[in-house]
Amino acid sequence: MVVVMEREATQADIDAVAERVRSMGGEAFVSRGTVHTIIGLVGDTERFSAVDWKQLPGVDHVIHIGKPYKMVAADLHPEPSTVSIGATPVGRGTFTIIAGPCAVESEDQALISTKAAKAAGATILRGDVFKPRTSPYSFQGLGERGLEILEECRRQTGLPIVVEVTDVSHVMRVAEVADCVRVGTRNAQNFELLKEVGLARRPVMLKRGLAMTIDEWLQAAEYVAQRGNSEIVLCERGIRTFEPATRNTLDLAGMAVAQHESHLPVMVDPSHAVGKRHLVAAMARAAVAAGADAVMIDVHPEPEVALCDGPQALTPDEMIDLGRDLERIAEAIGRPVNRADG
Amino acid sequence: MVVVMEREATQADIDAVAERVRSMGGEAFVSRGTVHTIIGLVGDTERFSAVDWKQLPGVDHVIHIGKPYKMVAADLHPEPSTVSIGATPVGRGTFTIIAGPCAVESEDQALISTKAAKAAGATILRGDVFKPRTSPYSFQGLGERGLEILEECRRQTGLPIVVEVTDVSHVMRVAEVADCVRVGTRNAQNFELLKEVGLARRPVMLKRGLAMTIDEWLQAAEYVAQRGNSEIVLCERGIRTFEPATRNTLDLAGMAVAQHESHLPVMVDPSHAVGKRHLVAAMARAAVAAGADAVMIDVHPEPEVALCDGPQALTPDEMIDLGRDLERIAEAIGRPVNRADG
Amino acid sequence: MVVVMEREATQADIDAVAERVRSMGGEAFVSRGTVHTIIGLVGDTERFSAVDWKQLPGVDHVIHIGKPYKMVAADLHPEPSTVSIGATPVGRGTFTIIAGPCAVESEDQALISTKAAKAAGATILRGDVFKPRTSPYSFQGLGERGLEILEECRRQTGLPIVVEVTDVSHVMRVAEVADCVRVGTRNAQNFELLKEVGLARRPVMLKRGLAMTIDEWLQAAEYVAQRGNSEIVLCERGIRTFEPATRNTLDLAGMAVAQHESHLPVMVDPSHAVGKRHLVAAMARAAVAAGADAVMIDVHPEPEVALCDGPQALTPDEMIDLGRDLERIAEAIGRPVNRADG
Amino acid sequence: MVVVMEREATQADIDAVAERVRSMGGEAFVSRGTVHTIIGLVGDTERFSAVDWKQLPGVDHVIHIGKPYKMVAADLHPEPSTVSIGATPVGRGTFTIIAGPCAVESEDQALISTKAAKAAGATILRGDVFKPRTSPYSFQGLGERGLEILEECRRQTGLPIVVEVTDVSHVMRVAEVADCVRVGTRNAQNFELLKEVGLARRPVMLKRGLAMTIDEWLQAAEYVAQRGNSEIVLCERGIRTFEPATRNTLDLAGMAVAQHESHLPVMVDPSHAVGKRHLVAAMARAAVAAGADAVMIDVHPEPEVALCDGPQALTPDEMIDLGRDLERIAEAIGRPVNRADG
- Is 80 exceeded by the pLDDT of residue B325? yes
Inter-axis angle of helices C277-290 and B277-290, to 10 degrees? 140
CA-CA-CA-CA torsion sign (B318, B324, B326, B328): negative
CA–CA gap between residue C332 and residue B329 (Å, rounded): 6
pLDDT for B179-225, tens place per residue?
Answer: 999 999 999 999 999 999 999 999 999 999 999 999 999 999 999 99
Q: Which residue of A has its CA nearest to B61?
A: A311
pLDDT for D29-58, tens place per residue?
Answer: 888 877 788 888 888 777 787 777 887 888
Residue B209 distance to chain A (closest CA, Å): 9
Mean pLDDT, chain D, rounded, equals: 92
Residue A322 distance to chain D (closest CA, Å): 11
According to the model, what pLDDT value does residue B342 have? 43
Task: Please enumerate in sequence order all residues whose Cβ is within 8 A of that of D281, keeping only pairs 6 or more positions apart, or say none.
Answer: D314, D318, D321, D322, D325
Contacts with D279 from chain A: Cβ below 8 Å: 253, 256-257
Q: Cβ of B279 and C286 within 8 Å?
A: no
**Partner chains of C (3+ C-beta pairs under 8 Å):** A, B, D
Q: Is A64 on the interface with B (CB under 8 A)?
A: no
**Quick one: C116 exposed, middle or buried, by C-beta within 10 A (0-12, 13-18, 19+)?**
buried
Q: Is C334 on the interface with D (CB under 8 A)?
A: no
CA–CA gap between residue C39 and residue C16 (Å, rounded): 11
Return the C-alpha torsion angle C227, C231, C236, C239, nearest 10.
-10
C-interface mutation test, from B215, B285, B295, most C Cβ less than 10 A away = B285
- Is 80 exceeded by the pLDDT of residue B52? no
pLDDT for D111-136, tens place per residue?
Answer: 999 999 999 999 999 999 998 888 88
B-interface mutation test, from C217, C247, C250, most B Cβ less than 10 A away = C250
Cβ-contact C128, C142 below 8 angstroms: no
Q: Is C24 on the interface with A (CB under 8 A)?
A: no
Cβ-contact C72, C221 below 8 angstroms: yes
Contacts with C305 from chain D: Cβ below 8 Å: 52, 55
Among candidates A309, B304, C56, C250, which has minimal Cα distance to D305? C56
Provide the residue-wise pLDDT of chain A in tens; the chain has 342 residues.
889 888 888 999 999 999 999 998 888 888 887 778 888 888 877 778 777 788 788 888 888 877 889 899 998 788 999 999 999 999 999 999 999 999 999 999 999 999 999 999 999 999 999 988 888 888 888 999 999 999 999 999 999 999 999 999 999 999 999 999 999 999 999 999 999 999 999 999 999 999 999 999 999 999 999 999 999 999 999 999 999 999 999 999 999 999 999 999 999 999 999 998 889 999 999 999 999 999 999 999 888 777 778 788 999 999 999 999 999 999 999 999 998 754
- Is 50 exceeded by the pLDDT of residue B75? yes
CA–CA gap between residue D223 and residue D191 (Å, rounded): 7
Mean pLDDT of D151-157: 97
Predicted ipTM? 0.91
Cβ-contact B89, B338 below 8 angstroms: yes
According to the model, what pLDDT value does residue C342 have? 43
Q: Is A304 on the interface with B (CB under 8 A)?
A: yes
According to the model, what pLDDT value does residue B341 have? 59
Burial B314-323 (b: 16+ CB within 10 A, else e): bbbebbbebb
Contacts with C17 from chain A: Cβ below 8 Å: none
Contacts with B14 from chain D: Cβ below 8 Å: none
Lowest mean pLDDT among B4-13, B60-69, B302-311, C205-214: B302-311
According to the model, what pLDDT value does residue C32 have? 82
CA–CA gap between residue A213 and residue A216 (Å, rounded): 5
Residue A281 distance to chain C (closest CA, Å): 25
Banded model confidence at residue D341, pLDDT cuts 50, 70, 90? low
Mean pLDDT of C170-188: 96
Q: Cβ of D243 and A214 within 8 Å?
A: yes
**Residue D199 φ/ψ, nearest 5 degrees:** -95, -10
- Is 60 exceeded by the pLDDT of residue B10? yes
Q: Is D2 on the interface with B (CB under 8 A)?
A: yes
Burial D110-124 (b: 16+ CB within 10 A, else e): bbbbbbbbbbbbbbb
Among C55, C211, C305, the residue with its CB nearest the CB of D310 is C55
Q: Is B334 on the interface with A (CB under 8 A)?
A: no
Calculate the CA A71 to chain-centre distance.
15
Among C29, C33, C45, the residue with its CB nearest the CB of A31 is C29
CA–CA gap between residue C234 and residue B25 (Å, rounded): 58
Q: Is D341 on the interface with A (CB under 8 A)?
A: no
CA–CA gap between residue A231 and residue A244 (Å, rounded): 35
Q: Cβ of C253 and B241 within 8 Å?
A: no
In chain B, the largest separation of any two C-alpha atoms, in whole Å, equals: 76
Q: Which residue of A has its CA nearest to C8?
A: A75
Beta strands in D262-323 (DSSP E): 266-268, 294-298
Among A107-121, C31-45, D306-320, name the most confident range: A107-121
In chain D, the largest separation of any two C-alpha atoms, in whole Å, equals: 76
pLDDT for A179-216, tens place per residue?
Answer: 999 999 999 999 999 999 999 999 999 999 999 999 99
Q: Cβ of B36 and D63 within 8 Å?
A: no
Q: Is D119 on the interface with B (CB under 8 A)?
A: no
pLDDT for D59-102, tens place per residue?
Answer: 888 888 778 898 999 987 889 999 999 999 999 999 999 999 99
Residue A208 distance to chain C (closest CA, Å): 17
Q: Is C324 on the interface with B (CB under 8 A)?
A: no
Cβ-contact A247, A272 below 8 angstroms: yes
Contacts with B288 from chain C: Cβ below 8 Å: 289
According to the model, what pLDDT value does residue A341 have? 59
Banded model confidence at residue D342, pLDDT cuts 50, 70, 90? very low
